[in-house]
Every structure is written in C-alpha cells, then in structure tokens.
Amino acid sequence: MNKTPSASQTARLTVEQFLQEYASHPTYTPPPGTELHAKNWQAEAALRMFLNNLSKEVAEAPAELVVYGGTGQAARTPEDARKIIEVLLELEEDESLLVQSGKPVGRVRTHPEAPRVMIANSNLVPHWATWEHFNDLRKRGLIMYGQMTAGSWIYIGTQGILQGTYETFVACGEKHFNGNLRHKLLVSGGLGGMGGAQPLAATMAGATFLGVDVDPERIKKRLDTRYVHKMTTDYQEAKQWVLEAKEKGEALSVGLVGHIGDVLERLLQDNIIPDILTDQTSAHDPLNGYVADGISLAEARSLRASAPDRYKQRSLKSMARHVGIMLQMQSRGSKVFDYGNNLREFAQQGGEKNAFQIPGFVPEYIRPLFCEGKGPFRWAALSGDPEDIRVTDEALKKLFPENRHMIRWLNEAEEKVAFQGLPCRICWLGMGEREKAGLLFNQLVREGKVKAPIVIGRDHLDCGSVASPYRETEGMKDGTDAVSDWPLLNLMANTGGGATWVSFHHGGGVGIGYSQHAGMVILADGTERAERCLRRVLFNDPALGIFRHADAGYESAQENAEKFGLNL
C-alpha cells in the first residue's frame, strides 16, 4: 500500500503564504514533514531540494543565491528564485519546467514519467566558452554559474563530497603508505563548501590534517559542524598542534586562518614536508574564487570589482607561486596531487611551466572505481527527520552485508557527520548496487518505514556523466579526455529513463571552458511509477560509466561490461 500523502489529504497553503513562510529572500527553508505543498511529490521533491540548497545551513551566501564554490548559484536572481518556486507549486504531472542558467523560461507538455524539471546552466558555444565572455554575460544578468550540484539543486552540504574525499585519501594511503595514514601529515588549502570536507575525510582515514583558508568564517562553519577539531590564526600554534598529533598518530584536524601559499612557504622554511599535499581553494575561478597573496580578503573583494583584469593577473601569479612551492615539496618526498580545481592550468598561465608535473586525483586514485560504475550516490530525507536516514543506513547494511567498506563508512558517518539542512547521506555505490538501493528506498516509503519520500541523486563528478580533461577524464587511455558526447548521452539516457529532474552544466569544478557534465535526481515515493523509473535510471546512469571506460580501453571496465550484460 502506498502511504505517501496526496494533495487531497492536506490543506495547501496559497502561493503567497508558502513564499512568506518558506522563501522570503534571503531566508529559504525546505518544509519538512509529510504535508504536500505542490500538486505532486515529484514537484515537491524539486521544491524542497531547491530550498534546501539555499537554506543558511547549506548555502555559502543565501543573499546572493550562492550555494558553494565562490559563485555557484541555485538561481540567477531573487525574482527568478521566486518564480521557480511559484511554478513548482502549481506544476502538473504532465508538465515540465525548463530552467536556463537559473531562470525559469517555460513549461512544456510531457508525461508523468518524464522529468518534472530540465535544467541547463552556463553552457556556451565552445569558441565563446571563456571566462571573459561568461563574465560579460553575467554582469548583464544573462547567465549564472551553476557549479555542479548548486544549479542542479542536489547539493547536500559539505557531506556531499565527503566520501569521495575519503576514498581519495584512503587510495593515496594504500598506494604510498601501505594503507596506513597514522603518523602522516596531510596539508591542503581551501575549507569552503567543497574543501571543507577535507579535514573530516582525512581524520576518518587516520591522518593528521592541517587546512588553510583566508576566510575565518569558512573555518568557523567547519568547526560548528564538527568537520574540523581546532581553529587558530597562529601559525606556530597550528604547527605545534599538528606535529604533536602526527608524532602520537592522532587523527587531529586543524583549521588555520591564512593564505595557503604563505603557509606552505613557512612550512618549507621550517623543513616540515607534508606526507600528502593537495588543494581545494576556488582556483577554478581566478577572478571571483581564488584569493591572491599579499592582500586581505576585503582588499581582494574590492580589487575584483575595481580592477578585475589586474586582479586576475595577480591571482594567476599567486597560483604560480603556490604551485611552485607544492612542486618543491613534491621534490622532497611529499605525495602531491591536484584535487580538480584547475589550479595547475592557471598556475601555468601565471608562469609555473612545470605545474602539470603534479598528477590529478582521478587518474592517480579514482579511475578504477569509475570502471566499476562506482560513484557518489546520495540521498535526502524529505521528511526532515534524521531517523529516516538512520533507517536507510541500516537497511543498506542488511542489503549489502558483504560490502564491509560501505558498512564501515556508514558506521563512521552515523557517528561523525553533522547534517546541514535536510538530513542526507552519501555512499559510493556501483553498477547493480544503485538500482537495488533505489528500489529498497522505494519499498521503505511504500511500507511507511520512513515518514516521507526519499530523493536520490549524485554529484556530477561521477563515473559516466562528465568530460573534464583536467579532472575526471584526465589522461584517458585512448586520448578522449575532451570528448563530451558521454555526458550528453548520460543526460539523454536519464531523461529517457524518467529521472525526476535532470541538468546539463558547463564549467563546474574547474571553470568556464574546461568541463561539461550532467546531473540526475530521482524520487522514491513508494509508487509503482517510481519503481519503473528507478529501475531504468539507476541502471542507465552507472552503465554510462562502464560504457565510457570500456570504450576507452580499460580492461576492468570491459570485464564489468561483460559481467553486467552491457556489451552490444
């Protein structure tokens, strides 16, 4: 029996009442519980996740509609956000909303198993796909930067990248340190919406962690959400804490306020060479993301507005210096890797000709998982009740009792991860596993074991949904790093399969001109309709990862294609 509520079971608020209660700019809040505000759960799911992206517990700057990544927005303007909400509240099951770079532009006739929302963000014809052209359009209010999950309404706070970061650090430990990161110091820059996952991922993997950010508010947010243990503005104090913890083999994380380039230079002068060194500053955007050295955060913001060209050149030179120090540490034994923010490319533009001697994290550590169709499967409890996540965690452990790595991860996450906004979870699952998990969640909703429907999504950083030559598709075996047919096929397969909303973006993670990627979200509401869609989408989506890597010549992907019956 389907126990999800219908519109007739509740007295719906008027649009104005809903806006006043849940979406009075800049205060956005996803409504919890089982009451249906939209006309169907598909539109309700998109509505709640849109509002969750913009809630103050999740978003970096709700007043600017920025979710994460410096400029990654969920909607273009407050007026556009309001219109998106208004349309979702009235959207029928045979209609779909079209969103163009954060602006709702129309409704089209579809059917109940079609996506309720179709989103395209930041896409430019290749010849014009430059930051200069994008920023000109952005100044005129004609486009927005969607990042990856900001503009596709499935960002779940810092947890969203947590397991991927953990998997990367663990793989690094297995490759270089016999699987043991105790007594190892991991250093990185950037503790924002993405980089903020690093301290918790590092300590979960057993390492001692030092993270550096110029913005104290970002570190405070990680402190408040238990992602980082300690915070200081004093380099000497931070150094003492991490060196003592490393000596004792303690998994301690420290957030230091400062510029990463300056801190790395001081570490080098003090002959402190990190065992592992990476970076997750917002280097993908040299103008509005990365903070140049030698100036304060406030001065950087002022210079960006008054002299953008001069600021960008200063930023590029700062990145070159930053990477130059990383290369010195690499030459002295540090395991250094690029974590997908395009730091190497812009450092090269700034004058560091050897920037690409630093390897990327995907070819170095993650690609074998992609060949299995594995990636960041995530879900949100629309009820707003953390107990629903606990129920799904326990159900997954019973569903996959042989997956000890997953069980260990879920146990750690239950104990250490603080929710931001709606209670959510992320767990890397592969081909076959995702479909089983989705059907299980649909059953939990149908049987009333969770209080409201479950939204299932993933990062755009996934096995078959992105073309990004300096990140996910760097160094492909057959040289097809820049072929973006694959994310387009992913988008079409998930649209045809019946995802609840789909998206296609340009630039997320590494910046304008450097990537294209597709997003997918699907609802488990306990219905037979949802079951049909789940079976299709959660097969198609990871299958694209195996198709893509098998076609590129990876033997393990070819073996998995055979295993799952994916060969033509």
Among residues 552, 545, 404, the alpha carbon closest in space to that of 560 is found at 545
The string of pLDDT tens digits covering residues 473-527 is 999 999 999 999 999 999 999 999 999 999 999 999 899 999 999 999 999 999 9
pLDDT at 255 over 90: yes
Q: Which two tokens stand for residue 530?
A: 């949802």
Cα angle at 430 between 424 and 436, to 5 degrees?
Answer: 70
pLDDT for position 451: 98
Question: Is 130 labeled as ligand-binding?
Answer: no
CA distances (Å), 330 to each of 31, 98, 361, in order?
A: 49, 47, 15
* Mean pLDDT across 549-556: 98
pLDDT for position 1: 38
**Residues marked as catalytic:** 427
Q: How confident is the model at residue 11 (pLDDT cuts 50, 70, 90)?
A: low
Question: Is 330 labeled as ligand-binding?
Answer: no
pLDDT at 20 over 90: yes
pLDDT for position 481: 98
Q: What is the average pLDDT score of the chain?
A: 95
Distance CA 277, CA 35 (A): 48
Upstream peptide bond of 274 is cis (omega within 30 degrees of 0) = no
Q: Which domains does the chain have, with CATH numbers?
A: 161-359 (3.40.50.10730)
Question: Is 195 labeled as ligand-binding?
Answer: yes
The string of pLDDT tens digits covering residues 72-106 is 999 999 999 999 999 999 999 999 999 999 999 99
Question: Is 280 labeled as ligand-binding?
Answer: yes
Distance CA 303, CA 531 (A): 53
Sorted by sequence, the CB contacts under 8 Å of residue 407 that are 6+ apart come out as 397, 400, 401
Quick one: how far is CA 110 from the chain centroid? 29
CA distances (Å), 285 to each of 214, 280, 299, 360, 493, in order?
A: 16, 12, 17, 18, 31
Expressed in percent and rounded to 5, the helix, strand and coil fractions of the chain are 45, 15, 40
Question: Is 164 labeled as ligand-binding?
Answer: no
Q: How confident is the model at residue 425 (pLDDT cuts 50, 70, 90)?
A: very high
pLDDT at 7 over 70: no
Q: How confident is the model at residue 159 (pLDDT cuts 50, 70, 90)?
A: confident
Question: Is 443 labeled as ligand-binding?
Answer: no
**Range name among 140-149, 159-168, 170-179 with the lowest pLDDT average:** 159-168
Distance CA 568, CA 563 (A): 13
Burial of 390 (0-12, 13-18, 19+ CB in 10 A): middle
pLDDT at 286 over 70: yes
pLDDT at 335 over 60: yes
pLDDT at 3 over 50: no
CA distances (Å), 364 to each of 246, 337, 376, 470, 517, in order?
A: 25, 8, 18, 12, 21
